[in-house]
Amino acid sequence: MILVITIVCIISTIISSSEVTTSKSLPQAIIIGVKKCGTRALLKFLSIHPATAVSSTEIHYFDSPQNFQFGLDWYRNQMPIAKNNQYLTIEKTPHYFIDRQTPARIAHLLPEVKLIVILRDPIIRAISDYVQIKNRHESYPTFDEFISMNNFTRWTPIKIGCYSLYLRRWLKYFPLERIHFVDGENLIQRPWQELESVQKFLNISNHIQQEHFYFNSHKRNFPCIKQPNGCLGSSKGRHHPSISEHTREKLKTLYSTCNQQLKELAQINFSWL
C-alpha cells in the first residue's frame, strides 16, 4: 500500500513539474521587421540563449484578417513551448512593420511587449528584396531597368526602404524606449555587438558572444552559429547583381530625406545613414 502511494506521488510530481516547465505563452518580444534586413538571422542567433523560446515560423497574426479573427488563444497556441528556464518568448513577422493595422492591434493586446526593428542600408535592402523576387521569376527585368521606370518609387522593394514612413505609425502607439533598433549591416559584420545590445534591451544575460559565431565563406561570409545547422538556408547569402552608378545615385537622392527623418525619429546614427 505504501509502495502504491509512493508511486502515485512520484507520478503526480512528474506531471506537475511538466506542467510548470513546459508551456506556451504570449510573446514578451516581437521582431516586427524589416524584411530583408536580417530578421531571420537575429531570431536564429537569439534561439541559442537559454532564456528564450523562439517561434519557428512567421505567425502573421496581427497583419492577417483571417488569423486575427481566430483570437488571442489561437495566437498563444502558435507560440513555441517554453521549457525549463525559457521565460522569454519571441515571435518574428517582418510584415508587421509596414502593415497599417498592426501597431494599434499589438498596442491593444500586448501593451507591455518589447519591439525589435532591424534596419540596413535601404539600397542594399532593395537589392536583396529584388534578388529574392528574381529567383522566383526568371524573366524579371534587371534592377537598373526597374529604377529607370517613371513610377519606380511605388515599387514595393523601393518603398519599404523609406523606414521613417512606417516608424511614425509605431511611435503613435509605443514609446521609443520600448523599441530597439538593430543595425542590419553590423549584424552581418559583427553580430556579437548587436546581440549584446539586444540582450540588454530584453533584460537577459549577455550569453551570446563572439565565440559563438563563424563566417561562412561559401555564403558571402554570412555569419553562422557554431552548432548543428547553425547556418541559415540556401536563400541567405545569395549573390547580389551589380547596379549602375546612375541607379545608385538616384536611390541615394531618394533615400536621403527618409534617412534623415529616421535618424531624428529613432534617435540612431548608424554608419550607413
Of residues 36, 44, 92, 114, which has the active-site annotation? 36
Q: Are 33 and 106 in contact (CB under 8 A)?
A: no
Match 517554453 to its residue by C-alpha cell: 82
33 annotated binding-site participant: no
Q: Give pairs for 187-191: CB < 8 Å, separation 24+.
A: 187/38, 187/41, 187/42, 187/118, 187/120, 187/223, 188/38, 188/41, 188/222, 188/223, 191/41, 191/45, 191/223
Active site (annotated) includes residue 24: no
Task: Kindly state the cell numbers that stand for 88.
Answer: 522569454
Residue 115 CA to its chain's centroid (Å) = 10
d(CA 109, CA 4): 47
Task: Kindly state the cell numbers that stand for 8.
Answer: 502515485
252 annotated binding-site participant: no
37 annotated binding-site participant: yes
Q: Could you write out the three-class secondary structure of 202-244?
A: CCCCCCCCHHHEEEEHHHCCEEEECCCCCCCCCCCCCCCCCCC
Residues annotated as catalytic are 36
Binding site for 3'-phosphoadenylyl sulfate, residues? Answer: 36-40, 120, 128, 236-240
Binding site, residues? Answer: 36-40, 120, 128, 236-240
